[in-house]
Amino acid sequence: MTASSHVIAGCCIALVLPIPALALPLAFASHFAMDAIPHYGGDSRTPIGSRRYNLMLGSDMALAALVLASVALRQPTHWPWVMLTGIAAASPDVTWLPSFVRGLRHQSPRPRNWFMRFHAWVQWCERPQLALVEVLWLAVSVCVLAVFLSNK
């Protein structure tokens, strides 16, 4: 799933369950539950560093930042925790950063640690033709978040 989808899910978790001791680990775990849903990925037409890849990545990062900015502007109850929980939900993807950098340098990937192997295993079904799943998930989650933020 996209980073923006993970951030939105984490924010929603914190808004529903404003107990940081529960919301933070639940948001982190939600990352893997969401990645287990068949979704977009593995598109050979979009190699790391390509114009299309950079556009997709930049758009996703901009949307994630916009969501966090919206939370900061609306300031629902416990809003700093809402933002932190959103970030926690997306945080497992940071482990892919070294592979991303190696891909930009056209270097072969390094062996993965146990966490990265687990993360890759969870994403058992990534296909280019599943982009609609990502779009629908994002649309529904944006609507849910909008309802929460409008009822602060």
Tokens of 23: 């919301």
pLDDT value at position 18?
80
Full 3-state SS string of 87-139:
HHHHHHHHHHHHHHHHHHCCCCCCCCCHHHHHHHHHCCCECHHHHHHHHHHHH
Asked if 103 and 48 count as a contact pair (C-beta separation under 8 A), the reply is: yes
> Residue 3 and residue 59: Cα distance in Å, rounded?
10
> Residue 122 and residue 103: Cα distance in Å, rounded?
21
| pLDDT tens profile 110-134 | 767 899 989 999 999 999 999 999 9
Instruction: Give the residue, 96 or 28, on which the prediction is more confident.
Output: 28
> Residue 107 and residue 101: Cα distance in Å, rounded?
9
What mean pLDDT value characterizes the chain?
A: 92
| pLDDT tens profile 40-74 | 988 888 888 899 999 999 999 999 999 999 999 99
pLDDT value at position 152?
60
Cβ neighbours of residue 139 under 8 Å, at least 6 residues apart?
none
pTM of the shown model: 0.92
